[in-house]
Amino acid sequence: MNIIGKWKITEVKVFSPEGLNLVWRTASDILSDENADDYVKQSLLYKYIFTEDGKALLLFPIPADAPKAEIDEAIASGEVKLYDDSTIILEEKAWKEEDGKFFFDSGTKGEVLGEAISPWVEIKETDDGIEVMSYRLVKE
C-alpha cells in the first residue's frame, strides 16, 4: 500500500438511526440526507494529504462565499495556513510506518488504569483505500 498522496472521504462511521451502535454511511448518502448534522456534512469535505516526510495534513476547501478580506486577515494572523488557493490546512499531524503498518498520530492524550494511551492509531487498508479513525478514504 502506498499512503503518500491526496485522499478524499467516501464513508464515515456514525450512530445508527436508533442511536444504539456505530455504522458506516457513504458520504453521498449523508450529504443528501436533510436530517444529517451540518457538522458531519461539512467534515465530509475534508481531504487528507499524506506527505513523504511523515506529515498528515487535514485540508478544508475555502467556502466560495467567504470574504477574501477575512481569509487574508486569518492568514496574516497565523490563525489559518493556506495549502493552495482553494484550501486551508485545518490540522497538521504525523504519520509513520512501523513493521509494514501505517499509523496516524490522533493527538489522544491521557491514561487508563495508570497506563499511558498511545496517540498512534493504525491506518487500516480497505478494499479500495484506507480507514483512518472514523473515516474511510480513497485516493483522489
Q: Is residue 82 within 8 Å of residue 35, measured between CB atoms?
A: no
Burial bucket for residue 130 (CB in 10 Å: 0-12, 13-18, 19+): buried
User: Which DSSP symbol is given to 84?
Assistant: S
pLDDT at position 63 is: 83
> For every one of its 140 residues, what pLDDT tens digit does the chain have, with 9 covering 90 and above?
899 999 999 999 988 877 788 999 999 999 999 988 888 888 899 999 999 999 999 999 988 888 889 888 888 898 889 898 888 998 999 999 999 999 999 988 888 888 888 999 999 999 999 999 899 999 99
Helices (H), the chain: 27-31, 38-43, 68-77
Range of the domain at 111: 5-139
pLDDT at position 128 is: 94
- Structurally, the chain folds into a number of domains equal to 1
Set of cell numbers at residue 70: 477575512
Which pTM was predicted?
Answer: 0.84
pLDDT at position 66 is: 86
